[in-house]
Amino acid sequence: MDFDIQDDIETAEVAEPEGPPDEPPIEYDGDHYLRISTNKITFEGVSKSGLTSVCFDESNTQVFSILSGDVTEVTVQSPYPEKCHHFRMEEKGRVIAMKFSPDQGILALQRTNNSIEFLTITNRIVTRDFSENFKGCSLLGFVWTGKTEIVYITNLSIKLCRVDVNSGCTNVIKSMNLNLVNWYNFYSPICLLLVSVGQSGNSMQLLQVKHNQILKISKFDVDVDLKSRKSVSDRDVVLWVVYNQPRILVMNYLTVNTVVQTEVVIYTIKKLSEVKKTHVLRIHQTGRFALNIVDNLIIVHNQVSKTSMVFDITDESSVAVTYHTPVVEPKSLKAFEDQQSSSAVLPKVVELYSKNWIMFQPNIVMDVKIGYLWALELNLAGFCETIGNKKALIRFLLLRSGSKLMITKAVTSIAEQPSQLALLGEIFDQINRNYMSFLQQFIKRQQSLPLTVTQPDDDEVVEFQCVIDQSSMHTQVFSKLAEKLDMSKTDDTKGHKVLSWVLLEYIRSLADLQIPTQPFIYELLIKMMVITENFYQLHQLLQFYAVNDTKSLAILLLSLENRYPASPQLALDMLERLGTGTDEIIEILLAKKEVISCLRYSEQKTGPHQTIVPMKCLDAARQNGNKRVFHAVKMHVNPNAISDNKEPDL
Amino acid sequence: MSVLRFSSAIFETCDVHYVFDPAFRRLEDESMTQRQPSKVSPKNFFIYNVCYGETEGQEEEKILFFHPRDTNVDVKMREVGLSEAIVKFAENFDAAECDAVHTKKTRKLFLQPEPNFWMIMTIHLPFGPRSSEVLEGSDYLGGDVETAVYQAVLKQAYSTARLFIGPFQSILDANNGDTTVLKKKLDDFFKRYLLDLRLADCDILNVFDGVQFLPLDRTTFLRSQCFVNLVEATFPVVSHSLLMYDGNLVWSGLNPEDVKVVYRYVCNSLLPKHLKANYLAKMGSSGSNVRLTRFVTGPDSLVDLVYSDKTPKVYLDKIQRPGFFHLVVYKVHDLVICLFLPKNKDPLRLELYRQLDVFLNERMSELITEIKSYRKSAPEQTEAPDTRYVYFNTMNLATKDSLRERKGNPSSDALVRALVRLHNHNVNLSKEGCLSSETFMRMSTDHWVIGRMSNFRQFYIAVERKKLSLQEVDDVAKRICENKLKGIFFHV
């Protein structure tokens, strides 16, 4: 079994939704949108002999390979190293499902539809083993909702129980009777449980297990065509969070003139209280379909045509149902190349969209026969090449994780064309709106109390957005453009002028959203304006405070005196506004030999009872050579010195 | 007692006289108006080049332009000869050139704008009573004429001429030294320019020759600025642009030396004329919907089949590649954008104007809304009616003033003239190396003028309030400075 790949797979979507700290380099391979991760988990696949069976737990992202024999050997694989196990247990017959509790302490195991077993495992050996039987009902399945809390779904009821390992029994905490449960679907992060009830085939009951309670959220009928099949099957329903809201995705097979047209109906669970039909994905294809969710995009795989469609449900109206078509043309997944490195074992041939594929949420693809488990990944470069409308592209990319470099690359290419300045402005606005909401969220979090008491449900799912702050904009876009200009070494400063337009547009966008601009943006702008010798224009920018005051900028301005005589004036104004530049102002005035105004200024600012500045003034007056000024300063500093007739050394 | 009675008897007779002879009263009124001194008026204006007509008898060749045109050749030559002699004579005393000659009746101003070219303007001094208190006798009032103002007028005349015809020497060079073309160009330009010249209205603002910036907040300014960038990015043929709102500069892509000339031309000549023409066109068409083009310079109509290129060509100097440019001025309500397009052989195509119109109209209308809403949110503070100020930043040529509000009142005019004197004082101080100063001056009318100078900025205040102590005047000045000069370093 390969264990060495497990660290890497964390960068895929199965891992934390916070986004990887270091982004992979841009791939310029733009001919596909989706691929299965090169890092895979291998496991013992299902064999024809029936000796190996495989089951998967979505909640923990664990694959169980169960090899029957004298003893049953179980290998548990997962992208998370702490969730990988290997153990043996007594051979007791076929296993339908097995799931670890969230802390990996207890393993629940189902072999028949009227009993469940609990095991604890230490050092690969089963240490405790007890079971519970169900009478008069059939166990459809079970889910863990806490370390020791488990929910049984039987055909007649939902039972929340606490498992007590020490005494080897379970206690019912809560029980809810339901009339004929067909199947269930569970979303573990917030313990949402969707059950199909009744005989109509399209009635659903949405429940949430919370604080040792089973809460009924809503009972509703899904609006699907039941002509072609009797009931909605659990394979056709996905319960997951898309764009920060729990959604129920239902495959709908519409029979139109004897042709089956498929669509995906999306129900949104609003504020965990109301279920509403909000979106319909138009597929316009026939075939066998499976769903995945990658980075808030809904992927519809068609096994027959061997293509996948990508849907984005950002456009949402509050009243009507929104109909969506694919973001891009349907295309096949990227062909999978197995890594050659794995020793003498010949790489297995992977057939894409094979019949042995099973999709799990959000983005897991499993080939049960070969024994591979992959994460489905987006190839953003493919989208960059296909989405021609740049604004739409940036909007799309801003909602994806790990898209920073793609966005900055797109922005750079737009910024290089002066004719696209208007578009660039709008794109900056888009990016900065995202940036601002990130900043606001950040401030809110800083101010508010630790997030435990208020609304734990809302905090479970944090929408990920790609935030491009000023420093990444600076390093990824502006500095690169500037470097290119430095390389070109022509006398023409047109490029520099264009870059200053770009920077001003960016500053304008920040100012519109009242985000303070960072000094390095200004520094680059000033550099460009000095290169193009647009000093008067720089003067105007400073005059209207388009460039913020900083001491370093004031000092930079002072250094420009030889090239632009007005810059000391600007520097003095800036120091005055800053309110902390009194010492610098005094030095500047002394350097300009404005001894008397210097003395007056310092006394106005710091009062008459200090000695350093007056002495400096006296020195400056002496060097200045103007006897009247010297005398005036001397008289002011020391009025008793009239008798002191010593002439200054002129 | 008897004296009193006697005098009252005289008044009575006078009263009777006024009442019974209205004609006489009218005469009296006229004589009263005549008691106002005459205004400053031009006597002559001429340009000559000392390199020409050096041999005796051919001195006329020196003269490139002479106003009035119908002056006798002998008089012209005498004037030129006299000017040349004065210049030569003055050279003996000072390395600096001769600036002005004061005579009893006239003042002669000298300017050598380019090597060997001299521009001379002679003005008649006002003639009238010495002051309102003196009832009898008239005199030439040389003291009422500030030389600096008219020197500035002469400089402006040159810079405007240069804007339209380019440097004088370059025209001579282009024609192998032949003066015919230059003479023709000078004649074409100055005969119209001098017609519009109102010498009597010139004041300290002419001395500064600055531009007024529109006060804007950061966001609105950045939007305006980015709009200008957008225009230049979308129309690469546009090399430079200016944006103005209601006679105030919002953004200048030109350098100060060029922008002040263009600004003066657009604000004082082009826009008023356009306004008048539009008004007349509206009146003439009497309500029928004549579509007025938004191009102040450019085609009269965008659908004209016969189109001729009418944009003025202007010479810009302080840029990387000096030369002539088409000046296209486009106006939406109070917002004016001036575009400078390099002049080459081909005239501007009508298609370009159409594209500009489509691009500019909507965007400028949006910008106007933003500027207006800002100005509504931040109205300008007004000062006490008896104080007036003028501000000038020598570095970016920004001026701001409240002088125009009380024009025409003789004592107010005297105060404004006093400001020029304060300014001269400050200029001299700066030359000596004193960069910050404060000067108070009490007039014979018991009014005050204050001049402050610091950090290359000048601020002058006229206080038309009597019986103020120095302390009180200082307070008034301080308050105005605090109100008007925010966020800058201004310490005297």
Q: Across residues B32-39, what is the average pLDDT?
A: 66
Q: Across residues A239-266, what is the average pLDDT?
A: 83
Which A residues in the span 394-423 are in contact with B, Cβ-Cβ below 8 Å?
Answer: 418-419, 421-422
Domain count, chain A: 1
Q: Across residues B405-427, what is the average pLDDT?
A: 80
**Residue of B76 and B33 predicted with greater confidence:** B76
Q: What DSSP string describes A628-648? A: HHHHHHHHHH-GGGGG--PPP
Domain boundaries along the sequence of chain B: 41-202, 218-377, 387-484
**Residue of B462 and A272 predicted with greater confidence:** B462
Task: Burial-class residue B58 by CB neighbours within 10 Å (0-12, 13-18, 19+).
Answer: exposed
- Mean pLDDT taken over chain B: 83
**Residue of A462 and A581 predicted with greater confidence:** A581
Q: What's the pLDDT score for residue A27?
A: 53
Q: Does B218-377 carry CATH code 2.60.40?
A: no
When the candidates are 3.30.1330.10, 3.30.450.60, 3.30.750.210, 1.25.40.10, the CATH number that belongs to B41-202 is 3.30.450.60
Q: What's the pLDDT score for residue A462?
A: 41
Q: What angle do CA A305, A309, A312 make, to 5 degrees?
A: 170
Percentage of chain A beyond pLDDT 90 is 8
Cα–Cα separations (whole angstroms), residue A410 to A259, A322, A383, A423, A430? 42, 29, 11, 12, 13
B230–A425 C-beta distance less than 8 A: yes
Q: What's the pLDDT score for residue B335?
A: 94
A458 occurs within a structural domain: yes
* Distance in angstroms (rounded) separating the CA atoms of residues A27 and A560: 43
On the question of a cis peptide bond just before residue A20, with omega within 30 degrees of 0, the verdict is no
A497 occurs within a structural domain: yes
A541 occurs within a structural domain: no
Cα–Cα separations (whole angstroms), residue A68 to A92, A112, B127, B256? 9, 16, 126, 90
B456–A504 C-beta distance less than 8 A: no
Q: What's the pLDDT score for residue A361?
A: 82
DSSP, res A331: B
Q: What's the pLDDT score for residue B325?
A: 93
Percentage of chain B beyond pLDDT 70 is 88
Q: What's the pLDDT score for residue A104?
A: 84
Nearest CA in chain A to B241: A537
The CB-based long-range contact list for A154-161 (8 Å cut-off, 24+ gap) reads A154/A181, A155/A180, A155/A181, A155/A182, A156/A180, A156/A181, A157/A181, A158/A193, A158/A195, A158/A207, A158/A214, A160/A209, A160/A212, A160/A213, A160/A214
Of A421, A577, A597, the CB nearest to B233: A421
Q: Is the pLDDT of residue B75 over 80?
A: yes
Q: pLDDT-derived band of residue A457, with 50, 70 and 90 as boundaries?
A: very low
Residues of A in contact with B254 (CB under 8 A): 536
Residues A207, A216: contact at Cβ < 8 Å? yes
Q: Across residues B334-342, what is the average pLDDT?
A: 93
Of A418, A539, A585, the CB nearest to B233: A418
Task: Flag whether residue A627 sits within 8 Å of chain B, measured between CB atoms.
Answer: no
Q: Is the pLDDT of residue A281 over 70?
A: yes
CA–CA min distance A445, chain B (Å) = 28
Task: Flag whether residue A504 sits within 8 Å of chain B, measured between CB atoms.
Answer: yes
Q: pLDDT tens-digit profile of B222-273?
A: 999 999 999 999 999 999 999 999 989 999 999 999 999 999 999 988 898 8
Q: What's the pLDDT score for residue A508?
A: 94
Q: pLDDT-derived band of residue A448, with 50, 70 and 90 as boundaries?
A: low
Cα–Cα separations (whole angstroms), residue B352 to B301, B305, B333, B347, B355? 13, 15, 21, 11, 5
**Among candidate residues A254, A250, A220, A258, the one with its CA nearest the CA of residue A233:** A250
Q: What's the pLDDT score for residue B26?
A: 41
Residue identified by tokens 């996948």 is A308
Range from A374-378, A581-585, B31-35, B156-160 carrying the lowest mean pLDDT: B31-35
Q: What's the pLDDT score for residue A429?
A: 92
Residues B247, B336: contact at Cβ < 8 Å? no
**Residue of A490 and B477 predicted with greater confidence:** B477
Q: Is the pLDDT of residue A60 over 70?
A: yes
Q: pLDDT-derived band of residue A348, with 50, 70 and 90 as boundaries?
A: low
**Residue of A28 and A153 predicted with greater confidence:** A153
- Contact residues for A405 (Cβ-Cβ < 8 A; gap 6+): A23, A25, A26, A476
Q: Is the pLDDT of residue A3 over 70?
A: no
Q: Which domain holds residue A470?
A: 387-517
Can you tell me the ipTM of this complex? 0.86
A62 occurs within a structural domain: no
**Residue of A6 and A430 predicted with greater confidence:** A430
Q: Is the pLDDT of residue A1 over 70?
A: no
Nearest CA in chain A to B453: A597
Q: Is the pLDDT of residue B428 over 50?
A: yes
Q: Across residues B347-359, what is the average pLDDT?
A: 88
Number of neighbours of residue B100 by Cβ within 10 angstroms: 16
Range from A109-113, A199-203, A360-364, B15-19 carrying the lowest mean pLDDT: B15-19
Q: What's the pLDDT score for residue B410?
A: 67
Percentage of chain B beyond pLDDT 90 is 43
Same fold yes or no, B41-202 and B387-484: yes
Task: Flag whether residue A584 sits within 8 Å of chain B, measured between CB atoms.
Answer: no
Q: Across residues A386-397, what is the average pLDDT?
A: 86
Of A501, A511, A544, the CB nearest to B233: A501
Radius of gyration (Cα) for chain A, nearest Å? 35
Max mean pLDDT range (A231-235, A521-525, A610-614, B33-37) = A521-525
Residues of B in contact with A522 (CB under 8 A): none
Residues of A in contact with B487 (CB under 8 A): 545, 573, 576-577
Q: pLDDT tens-digit profile of A409-428?
A: 889 999 988 899 999 999 99
CA–CA min distance B145, chain A (Å) = 32
Site from B212, B220, B223, B225 to mutate, A interface, most A CB atoms within 10 angstroms: B225
A539–B395 C-beta distance less than 8 A: yes
A488 occurs within a structural domain: yes
A415 occurs within a structural domain: yes
Q: Across residues A382-395, what is the average pLDDT?
A: 86
Residues A151, A173: contact at Cβ < 8 Å? no
Q: pLDDT tens-digit profile of B375-403?
A: 888 877 777 778 888 999 999 899 988 88
Q: pLDDT-derived band of residue A453, with 50, 70 and 90 as boundaries?
A: very low
* Distance in angstroms (rounded) separating the CA atoms of residues B347 and B341: 11
Range from A500-509, B101-110, B156-165, B282-291 carrying the lowest mean pLDDT: B282-291
Q: What's the pLDDT score for residue B212?
A: 92
- Mean pLDDT taken over chain A: 80
Q: pLDDT tens-digit profile of B274-329?
A: 888 878 777 766 544 445 578 888 777 777 666 677 788 999 988 888 899 999 99
Residues of A in contact with B455 (CB under 8 A): 569, 572-573
Phi, psi angles (nearest 5°) of residue A633: -65, -45
CATH class of the domain at B387-484:
alpha beta
Q: pLDDT tens-digit profile of A169-222?
A: 888 888 888 888 888 889 888 888 888 888 887 888 888 888 888 888 888 888
- Widest CA span in chain B: 91
Q: What's the pLDDT score for residue A347?
A: 62
Q: What's the pLDDT score for residue A17?
A: 33
On the question of a cis peptide bond just before residue A330, with omega within 30 degrees of 0, the verdict is no
Residues of A in contact with B435 (CB under 8 A): 592, 594, 597
CA–CA min distance B235, chain A (Å) = 8
Residues B212, B397: contact at Cβ < 8 Å? no
* Distance in angstroms (rounded) separating the CA atoms of residues A300 and A376: 12
Q: What's the pLDDT score for residue A317?
A: 67
Number of neighbours of residue A631 by Cβ within 10 angstroms: 14
Q: Is the pLDDT of residue A262 over 90?
A: no
Q: Is the pLDDT of residue B4 over 50?
A: no
Structure tokens at A630: 């010297």
- How distant is the alpha carbon of residue A493 from its chain centre? 39
